[in-house]
Amino acid sequence: MLLPTISIPLELLLKTIITQYLESAYCITVLSDKPLSLPFTNSFIYLIPDEENLVEQIFNVSEMGCSDYIVCMRDPQNFMTAFERVVHIGNVRRSDRKVIILTYDEEYNENSDENLPSLIFSMKGSENLANMLMVVNHNSNNSDCKAFDLVTHQFVGPDDMSNLPIHLDRWDSCTQQFENDANLFPHDMTNLYGKTVKVACFTYKPYVLLDIDTAIEPLGRDGVEIRIVDEFCRWLNCTVELVREDVDQWGEIYKNESGGIGVIGSVVEDRAHLGITALYSWYEEYRVMDFSVAGVRTAITCIAPAPRLLSSWEMPLMPFTWYMWLAVVFTYFYASTGILTAQGCDSSSYPFLNAFGMMIGQSQYEGKPSWKIRSVTGWLLIAGLILSSAYGAGLASTFTVPRYEPSIDTVQDIVDRKMEWGATHDAWIFSLTLSSEPLIKQLVKQFRIYSFDELKRKSFTRSMAYSIEKLPAGNFAIGEYVTQEAILDMMLMLEDFYFEQCVVMMRKSSPYTEKVSQLVGRLHQSGLLLAWETQVALKHLNYKVQVEVRLSRSKNDVGTTKALNLGNVMGIFIVYAIGLVVSIATFLGELYVHYHKQKKERLHVD
């Protein structure tokens, strides 16, 4: 079948449009059922649409970077459907794509009962595409000249008018001039004329705070990222509409990437244009969405149970380490064996008791020992003097400086102790799940998800650690389940688990991506993000909790000087009591053995 040829006037118009608006395009994709002859100065790809493989055709050229389109098809709505699918599955992202849809032929347009511009502009793909242009035949009485109407969609303004066609200009083939010299791509995202921008979020301090008393905040909302959104709409003249995700919070994407729940799901399913509330630059989410430049750099760590004072019964053992105690025990048995050998293996002089006495600084009965016994005794007395002096000094230090349990400072510490750490959502481990390091894998396994009330209850049991964020201005993002009373028994870890960049999430190739990134860059330059964080923290966060976390590692260094009490020396008395019990038991045992021995002797005599 022969394809109808495209009219020369339409080619002239298209050449004018390309020269004015697509001259700087990297590459142009032309999809046409008809032969189209144009002197392109740009790189371009010409495709004959195949209805069955249209998605694959558009996807392949889009991945090459040819993401501006000129379409001349009998049913351009098929292109819009395929184009919307390619936007979601492709890797190329562009906020300023341009799509030009040409009239097919006069006969087809006249016989069609559909209002093609209204049909095209009401499709889902058009709702998120700012730069669209349709070339429509204009019925003219002059048969020698052809005229074309240039139509786009409203896009900006109230929602019920955003998909309405608006007439931009008319081009006449005889004069080869536009009637009004209008901008054919007028939606440059500098003024949205009150267009509604839907923002998915939930309350998470200090990023987003909702349901605030209007006497405090006129809009009833505040937060670092809320201020970014409000400033964005003040700049572009749009209206913010919040999409609350208080139940599913951050949410997740379904495995087939067809949708999701929570903030992330709202953006993927186009229930919201922007997604905020501490959304990090997660890989899985980037595959299906657009990210703005980073707004907040945050570090994730934990507050863990603070180390407690060691029990008093341990104090007699604290001057030496366990390796030192093993060395002392080995020295004792080695010296006892030496004395026993020097005495000719005669145990009647109690070599083990003598060795123990010398190690604690007791004097020895001289008698008339041999030079062997003198040699062993002399060296043992010197060793005993050194050990007893070192032990006494260490014990004095133990009574002077409080000793605490080992603190949980690093990832290795929390893994070695097999301590749970957790929050109300598993978004805290999204950045760790792809790690292949055994330590990080074990850390992920120890993460637990509990309800708000359960986390609040566990905060008093010292059974788990709680994930928090360190923010750039020195504040902390802490869940409300960690109360002022519970934080007194917790300590901030030294090592961060990881750090992340908070971004604003949008659908792929969103028209808002570039403008949001520009705004965030300007906020960084001015230092407003740090100022906003401080303002929100002082105004809405629990200042006492913030201070307790900030000073949690130094509060044990500030102690009070007081006299020794019974609790400080309880360990000494415990050792003394054990010694008394053992000695009394030994004495009673000796009496019992002696009594039975005498009784046997009397029976033998009788």
Q: Could you read off the pLDDT of 152-204 as tens digits, one per residue?
A: 999 999 988 888 999 999 998 888 889 988 999 999 899 999 999 999 999 99
**pLDDT for residue 165:** 93
**Residue whose C-alpha is closest to residue 505's, from 290, 231, 205:** 290
Mind listing the pLDDT tens digit for each residue in 64-77?
A: 988 899 999 888 99
- Two tokens, residue 83: 């184009």
**pLDDT for residue 143:** 64
Across residues 93-103, what is the average pLDDT?
91
**pLDDT for residue 280:** 96
Res 373 pLDDT > 90: no
Across residues 211-230, what is the average pLDDT?
94
**pLDDT for residue 441:** 95
Of residues 250 and 378, more confidence is placed in: 250
Mind listing the pLDDT tens digit for each residue in 470-487?
A: 999 999 999 999 999 999
Mind listing the pLDDT tens digit for each residue in 100-151?
A: 999 876 554 554 545 888 899 999 889 999 999 999 988 766 667 888 999 9
| 44-48, 262-266, 571-575 — most confident range | 262-266
**pLDDT for residue 568:** 65
**Residue whose C-alpha is closest to residue 404's, from 495, 467, 489:** 489
Mind listing the pLDDT tens digit for each residue in 294-349?
A: 999 999 999 999 988 776 666 777 787 888 888 888 888 887 887 777 766 765 66
Residue 3 — pLDDT band, cuts 50, 70, 90? very low
Amino acid at 576: Y
**pLDDT for residue 453:** 94
Helix, strand or coil, per DSSP, at residue 547: helix
**pLDDT for residue 4:** 44
What's the gap between Cα 337 and its chain centre?
A: 62
**3 state SS for 105-143:** CHHHHHHCCCCHHHHHHCCHHHHCCCEEEEEEEECCCCC
**CA 353/CA 359 separation, integer angstroms:** 10
Across residues 543-569, what is the average pLDDT?
75
**pLDDT for residue 266:** 95
Comparing 18-32, 328-342, 424-438, the range with the smallest average pLDDT is 328-342
**pLDDT for residue 24:** 85
**pLDDT for residue 5:** 47
Residues above pLDDT 90, as percent of the chain:
55
**pLDDT for residue 559:** 56
Residues above pLDDT 70, as percent of the chain:
89
Mind listing the pLDDT tens digit for each residue in 461-470?
A: 999 999 999 9
Contact 132, 153 (CB under 8 A): yes
**pLDDT for residue 420:** 95
Res 437 pLDDT > 90: yes
Element (H, E) at 500: strand 498-507
Mind listing the pLDDT tens digit for each residue in 511-537?
A: 999 999 999 999 999 999 999 999 999
Comparing 8-22, 41-55, 479-493, 551-565, the range with the smallest average pLDDT is 551-565
Comparing 154-168, 241-255, 551-565, the range with the smallest average pLDDT is 551-565
**CA 535/CA 284 separation, integer angstroms:** 33
**pLDDT for residue 560:** 57
**pLDDT for residue 2:** 40
**CA 263/CA 202 separation, integer angstroms:** 8
Give strand pairing partners of 149: 136, 170
Contact 233, 189 (CB under 8 A): no
Across residues 539-561, what is the average pLDDT?
82
**CA 336/CA 333 separation, integer angstroms:** 5
Across residues 552-573, what is the average pLDDT?
68
Contact 277, 263 (CB under 8 A): yes
**CA 129/CA 95 separation, integer angstroms:** 8
Residue 547 — pLDDT band, cuts 50, 70, 90? very high
Residues 6+ apart with CB under 8 A from 447: 420, 421, 422, 426, 428, 429
Q: What is the mean pLDDT of the chain?
A: 86
- Two tokens, residue 223: 């937060």
**CA 277/CA 263 separation, integer angstroms:** 8
Cα separation of the two ends of the chain: 139
What's the gap between Cα 455 and its chain centre?
A: 19
Place of tokens 């004792």: 332
**CA 543/CA 170 separation, integer angstroms:** 64
**pLDDT for residue 111:** 47
**pLDDT for residue 182:** 92
Residue 1 — pLDDT band, cuts 50, 70, 90? very low
